[in-house]
Amino acid sequence: MTTQKEKLREQIIQNVEKFCNIAFAEKEFVPGKTRIHYAGRVFDENEISELVDSALDMWLTLGPEGKKFCNEFSKYLGV
């Protein structure tokens, strides 16, 4: 059974994804006109959704997802 809290969280995440698809949509490249951003932030709606999901749990520092990343990354590196 889905609680009201879970439904609201799901709606928030869906709205965040919609927002990102509009706010950060790729613009048409026009040679000689469009600036090429060769450095800077690279993200999509998945990263922003994970950020918001963590914030809803008040995990504003290294939380369960960060620990999971560290463990998997160290296994990948063999350290």
Render pLDDT for 49-66 as a digit per residue (tens, 0 to 9).
999 999 999 988 888 888
How crowded is residue 53: how many other Cβ atoms within 10 Å of its Cβ?
15
Please report, as a single letter, which amino acid is at residue 66. Answer: G
d(CA 63, CA 59): 6
d(CA 62, CA 60): 7
pLDDT-based confidence at 1, cuts 50/70/90?
low
Find tokens 């928030």 and name the residue: 12
d(CA 28, CA 54): 32
Give pTM, 2 decimals: 0.69
Render pLDDT for 7-18 as a digit per residue (tens, 0 to 9).
999 999 999 999
Render pLDDT for 15-39 as a digit per residue (tens, 0 to 9).
999 999 999 988 899 999 998 888 8
Mean pLDDT of the residues in the chain: 91
Which residues constitute the domain of residue 56?
Answer: 4-77
| Helix intervals (H) in the chain | 4-23, 45-56, 64-77
Count of domains forming the chain = 1
d(CA 20, CA 26): 11
